[in-house]
Amino acid sequence: MANSALEIVGLCLTLVGLIMSAATTGMPMWRVTAFIGENIIVFETRYEGLWMNCFRQANIRMQCKVYDSLLALSPDLQAARGLMCCSLALGGIGLLIAIVGMQCTACIHNNSRAKRMVLIIAGSMIIGSCICVIIPVSWTGHVIIRDFYNPLLIDAQRRELGEALYIGWVTSAFLFSGGCIFACCNISEDKGQDRYMYSRNSHYSAYPPQPQLLVQPQTFIQPQPLVQAQPLQRQSSIYSYDSRYPSIRSAVAYL
C-alpha cells in the first residue's frame, strides 16, 4: 500500500516536471537585457531564447522573431536545443512506461518482478531526462555569468539570468525526485521478501544430540561342507505301491 502511494507521488512529480520542461523549452526568457551603467533605456526589454528573440516595449507589446539559421547560433544554444528535446522525449516515454508498471494498473498480471523491472527502467529514463535539463540550463547560466564580468564586452552586450533558467532548475529537481521514487520504491520490498526474519524474543533451544548406537560385530559363521545326497536304492517288493495286486515281476520272483 505504501509503495502504491509513493508511485502516485512519483507520477505527479514526473508529470509536473515534464510540463515545466516543455515550458522551459518554449520560453524565450533564457537571457534578459541587463540595465546597468549608462543604459537608461528601460522601456524596451530584449529576451533571447532557444528558438527566437523577443522585444517588449513598455510591458505592453512583444514582438518575436525566429532565428534565421541554426548554424548561426552559438554552440551552447545549439546543444541546449538538442538536450531539451531529448529531455522531453525521455520524460514522456518514461512516464508512459511508469504507468504500465504501477501497481494500480492492470497492464502486467501476476508478475511483480516484471513490474519492478519496468519501474526501474522508467525511473532511469526520467533521471536521464533530468540530466538533459540541468546540463543546458547550467551551461547557459555559466556563459551569462562569465560574459557579465568580461571586461571586453560593453554594457549593452551583457545579459542576466532569465526566468526560464530558474524554471529549468526547478524542473530538474522534480524530474530527479520522480525518477528516484520509481527506481527505488520497490527495492526494500524485494529485500523483505528474500530475507527471513526471526523474532528476538523467541525461545531458542538447541537440538539435543542423539546417543550413538554401538553396533556389535557379527561373528563369522564357518560354512558347513555340503553333504552329497546318496541315491536311493530301489528295494524290490512283492506288491507295488501303486496297485493293490502284485506285479508280474514280483510273482515270478516269488515262485
Alpha helices in 102-186 (DSSP H): 112-148, 163-184
Residue 109: give its domain's CATH number: 1.20.140.150
- Return d(Cα 43, Cα 60) in angstroms, integer: 10
DSSP 16: H
- Return d(Cα 134, Cα 136) in angstroms, integer: 6
Q: Is residue 13 part of a domain?
A: yes
**Total structural domains within the chain:** 1
Q: What is the pLDDT of residue 129?
A: 92
Angle in degrees, CA 138, 77, 64, rounded to 5: 115
Q: Is residue 224 part of a domain?
A: no
Q: Is residue 254 part of a domain?
A: no
Q: Is residue 233 part of a domain?
A: no
Q: Is residue 234 part of a domain?
A: no
Q: Is residue 138 part of a domain?
A: yes
Highest averaged pLDDT of the listed ranges 10-14, 61-65, 231-235 = 10-14
Q: Is residue 210 part of a domain?
A: no
Q: State which residues form the domain around 126.
A: 2-29+74-191
SS3 117: helix
Residue 46's contacts (CB-CB under 8 Å, 6 or more residues apart) are: 32, 33, 53, 54, 55
Picking from 1-5, 64-68, 88-92, 199-203, which range would have the lowest pLDDT averaged per residue?
199-203
Q: Is residue 49 part of a domain?
A: no
Average pLDDT on 158-164 reads: 85
Assessment of whether the complete model's pTM goes beyond 0.75: no
**Do 117 and 182 meet the contact criterion of CB atoms below 8 Å apart?**
no
